Structure 1
Amino acid sequence: MRRVCLTLPTHRACPATIRAVAEEAAHGARHFGVEVHLLILDSSEAAVLAGHRRTVAALPPAPGVVVHHLDEAAQRAFLREVTVRSGVAEPDRTLALMLPSRVSYGACTNRAFLFAEALGCASVHRRDSDSRYQYLDGEPVFPLHHELAALGRPAAEVAGLVSRSRLDPAYAHRPVALVGGSFVGEMSVDVEEIRRLDPLVYEEVIGLSVPDGYPEIWRRNLIEEAFRGAGTAAFTGDLTTLTTVSPTRVDMCNVSLAREVYARVPLPPATDTIGSDYFLLHLVHDARLPGVLHNRHIVNFHTGERRSDSGFLAYQLRFAKFLLSAPHLHSVYAGTTAAGEALLDTGGGLRASAVAALVREGARVDPLEKAERLDVVDRSYRRLGGRYTEAADFLAGRRERLIDEVLEEMEEFALLIDAWAALAGASADHETFPEGVA
């Protein structure tokens, strides 16, 4: 029986989301005859973790669904065994990249990839703790439906299942590597506030996320669409497109990847950096691997913590690091775009060595460029005033460390890519899966 991994990484209270994602898992098992492994990777504090355990214990049994709820201790034990078994040169350093002490969107998803390998899954389907499903006629609209229908099948077969195809026929023999959608509802609360307070400041700051050299009309469109997902329109019916999926059309709360992607190349393990987990979306697109874009968008909302003073400063740090990382990643993406199908080996799989080489090349960014970016943020935030002045002071006190840190994280990403095949192979040994969980 085909196994798939539906994963929910979390570090905050989300009992309603756990229950909703469990319903999605049951839907997938019921309609597609697959074994769905619902993997909750929980980094929450003790009281929240205990509440999640009660929520998981109360989930109704569902045929074909196996639930795994792993706290950080269980995750660490698994990863420690995997890193040792893999034979990587620096197991302690590798373990730190897989389970850092700070928030890392890439690292939490990388852990899901390795657990999926241990479980013998063919794909990973990711959701987030701050998301909900849309409804149609009183029933939830589950993205997993489209993901299981298309992922891993030859694009030529999937062409008859989708609403439309915009895929180059030259790629029709390749299997679908990615299925995803976006979100509807609130854009990022802090970015939205900047836009509301001063549209010119918003344009200047968000403009830092756009690669240099884009025509002005494209640049303005990218700024306008940034952080907005699929807007606010309610779901009224399915629309699916077979294509090479643009990374700007997919959100990581609503995405699935075939193991032929994530077993070859991991995500950047950067800490406190939004957007760091979108790397594979760019790689799949640039390598001309087929995907399906759907409109079963997830409803975005923000927890109370995001609206607190501490949540505001935490996000500003992650946003600043995103802007500082952008020159590095833009360099890598320029390389992957130029490489195109050369990113693939003769069997159609991603060549990790080629990707690692581009990441190392992308690390060579003039520190002055990053310093100038922080200057723009500092000047812009002080113009906004209020709590943005506090954010400017907060970032100024960490200025040199942030500039150095994004470089170090690019170099660490290259090292993780080098080690990834060994880690994935060691994970595929079922003896390494945490006892008493499966």
Structure 2
Amino acid sequence: MRRVCLSLPTHRPCSDTLRAVAAEAAQGAREFGAEVHLLVLDSADPSARETHRETLAALPESPGVVIHHLDEAAQHRFLAKTVAHSGAADPDRLVALLLPEGISYGACTNRAFLIAESLGCASVHRRDSDSGYQQHDGIPVHPLAQELAHLGERAGVVRNRVSTSRLDPAQADSPVALVGGSFIGPMSVDLDEIRSVDPAVYEKVVTLSVPDDAPPLWRPQLVANAFRGGGNTPFAGDRTTLTRVSPAHVDMCNVALIREVYERLPLPPARETIGSDYFLLHAVYGARLPGVLHNRHIVNHHTPERRTDAGFLAYQVRLAKFFLAVPRLHRVYAAMAAAGPALLDSTGAPRTEAVTELVRANAQGDRAADIRRLDTLDAAFRSLESRWTEAANFLAERRADLLAEARTDMEEFALLLEAWPALTRSSREQGPVISR
């Protein structure tokens, strides 16, 4: 029986989402005969965690579904044991990178990867707590159905199952490494207000997400498509494409990866940085591994916390850190794409050391360019006045830290990359975590 990990990290109350994802797990087990491990990595406050525990305990038993609900204390115990057993240098620092204070989109997924390894799972399927599922004819549209149908299968076999194939026939014997879709609903970042107030300022801000070397002819379209997801067209029937999946068409709340990818490569553990958790999508794309793109898009929504003053300011920090990370990350992405299949070893899995070298080579960056990026963001925010001026002041107070972290975030990613093979091996040797 295939064993898979359906992972939901959360730092907020999300009982409705837990019930919805549990239903997706049950469908996957029922229709595909898989053993689905629903992994809830719970960093919410004690009251919310207790509500989550009660929600999960009240779920009906579902054959083939195993629930793991781990608070941060349980996660820390697992990580400390795994890191110690791995023999990796600087164990305390590694644990801190895997379970940092504050929000880290990469770190929470890295924990899912390691726990999935300990459970003996063949794949990790990622969902988010601030999203839900579309409905079609009164039935939830679960991405897991497409993920389990194609992930890990030979591309030559999958070619006959999908709506369209754009994959090189020479890759027929390679396994499908990634299955993903996007989201529908509000923009994935809090920029819609800028777009409605001043489209010109919006363009200046979003241009910071575009690679510096993007051809001028492409830049307007890249800006127009940035953060837009799968649009607003509701699901009306499955459309699937076997292809080299562009990261621009996938959201991390709607993606599945085979273990051969995450066994070798973690995500950047940068704190308070959106977008850094898309690294593996770019690695798969750069290495030209087969993927399936589907249209079972997740429904994105903004939580009440995001609408508060504190939530708004916190998100602008995450956005600013992303804009500072863009040049470094895109240089690595370009280098991976240039290397292509040379990123892979003889088994077709990514070579950790090759990616580590690329990350180290691009850690320093250009401080003057970083300052110009923050200047652009500062001027844009101040031109809008109101709470955007407050956001500009908030970022200005943190400018020195933001500039320093742009470099250290990449250095810490390289450190984690170096230790990652030992950590995944240790996770497998440590065995499964405690389930509900």
Normalised by the length of structure 1, the TM-score is: 0.98
- Per-residue CA deviation, residues 378-430 of structure 1 (Å, 9 max, x unaligned), is 11100011001000000000101110112101001001011000000000024
| 1:115 alignment partner in structure 2 | 115
The one-letter code matched in structure 1 to 2:226 is A
| 1:136 alignment partner in structure 2 | 136
Alignment gaps of 5+ in structure 2: none
Secondary structure at 1:242's aligned position in 2? strand
Secondary structure at 2:179's aligned position in 1? strand
Secondary structure at 1:257's aligned position in 2? strand
Secondary structure at 1:428's aligned position in 2? helix
Aligned residues: 436
- Per-residue CA deviation, residues 341-397 of structure 1 (Å, 9 max, x unaligned), is 110111111000000000011113111110110000111100011001000000000
| 2:53 alignment partner in structure 1 | 53
Question: CA separation in 2, counterparts of 1:372 and 1:136?
Answer: 47
Question: CA separation in 2, counterparts of 1:430 and 1:37?
Answer: 17
Secondary structure at 1:149's aligned position in 2? helix
Question: CA separation in 1, counterparts of 2:206 and 2:147?
Answer: 31
The one-letter code matched in structure 2 to 1:178 is L
- Per-residue CA deviation, residues 174-223 of structure 1 (Å, 9 max, x unaligned), is 00000000000111462111111111111111101111222223111111
Alignment gaps of 5+ in structure 1: none
Choose 91-100 or 204-213, whichever is displaced more.
204-213
| 1:93 alignment partner in structure 2 | 93
| 2:362 alignment partner in structure 1 | 362
Contact kept, 8 Å, 2:188 with 2:300, in 1: the verdict is no
| 2:170 alignment partner in structure 1 | 170
The one-letter code matched in structure 1 to 2:293 is L
Secondary structure at 2:190's aligned position in 1? helix
Contact kept, 8 Å, 1:130 with 1:300, in 2: the verdict is yes
Question: CA separation in 2, counterparts of 1:241 and 1:280?
Answer: 19
Normalised by the length of structure 2, the TM-score is: 0.99
Question: CA separation in 2, counterparts of 1:213 and 1:253?
Answer: 28
CA displacement at 1:246 relative to structure 2: 0.1
1:394 aligns with 2:384: no
- Per-residue CA deviation, residues 55-110 of structure 1 (Å, 9 max, x unaligned), is 11111110000000000000000000000000001100000000000100000000
Q: Structure 1 segments of 4 or more deviating over 4 A?
A: none
The one-letter code matched in structure 1 to 2:301 is F
CA displacement at 1:25 relative to structure 2: 0.2
Secondary structure at 1:200's aligned position in 2? helix
| 2:15 alignment partner in structure 1 | 15
The one-letter code matched in structure 2 to 1:76 is H
| 2:425 alignment partner in structure 1 | 425
**In structure 2, do the counterparts of structure 1 residues 416 and 189 end up closer, same or farther at CA, with 3 Å as the change threshold?**
closer
The one-letter code matched in structure 1 to 2:104 is S
Matched ranges for 1:339-378 at <5 A: 339-378=339-378
- Per-residue CA deviation, residues 203-261 of structure 1 (Å, 9 max, x unaligned), is 11110111122222311111101111011001000000000100000000000000000
Question: CA separation in 1, counterparts of 2:163 and 2:30?
Answer: 23
RMSD over aligned Cα, in angstroms?
0.9
Secondary structure at 1:190's aligned position in 2? coil
Contact kept, 8 Å, 2:189 with 2:227, in 1: the verdict is no
Question: CA separation in 1, counterparts of 2:178 and 2:101?
Answer: 30
| 1:71 alignment partner in structure 2 | 71
| 1:318 alignment partner in structure 2 | 318
Secondary structure at 2:176's aligned position in 1? coil
| 1:249 alignment partner in structure 2 | 249
The one-letter code matched in structure 2 to 1:213 is D
CA displacement at 1:311 relative to structure 2: 0.7
Question: CA separation in 2, counterparts of 1:88 and 1:232?
Answer: 46
